Amino acid sequence: MFTNNFFDNININNVDPKYQEIVEEIGVENFIKLIDKFGGSTIYIPKLNSAYSNEIKSYVISQYNGYNKRKLANKFGLSEKTIQNIISENIKNKIEKL
């Protein structure tokens, strides 16, 4: 492994161009941590709406008024069908609990 002194001289200009966008987003120090922890691995980074799907579902359920499927779909980059599925699943769960 490299010594800490090696990393003291690294900046975005030293990073391979194909990784520079990542470095711009998270910074050199975090990029080094990412490489140190996951280097050589393949990792999947979910879309934001997948990573927070439970929160999005809860929000959709709380905000749905029967007329705003399109607005909710646009807000989260989902289809109106997906919004309808969230609402239908919620109704089904409520019925099953009775």
pLDDT tens digits, 73-86:
999 888 999 999 99
**What local confidence, expressed as pLDDT, does residue 69 receive?**
97
pLDDT digits (tens, 9 = 90+) for 1-59: 555 566 667 777 888 899 999 999 999 889 989 999 999 999 888 776 676 788 999 99
Nearest to 2 by CA among 27, 28, 36: 36
Q: Which residues contact 73 (CB under 8 A, 6 or more apart)?
A: 79, 80, 82, 83
Calpha distance 47→19 (Å, rounded)? 19
**What local confidence, expressed as pLDDT, does residue 46 receive?**
77
Distances (CA, A) of 73 to 10, 76, 79: 43, 6, 5
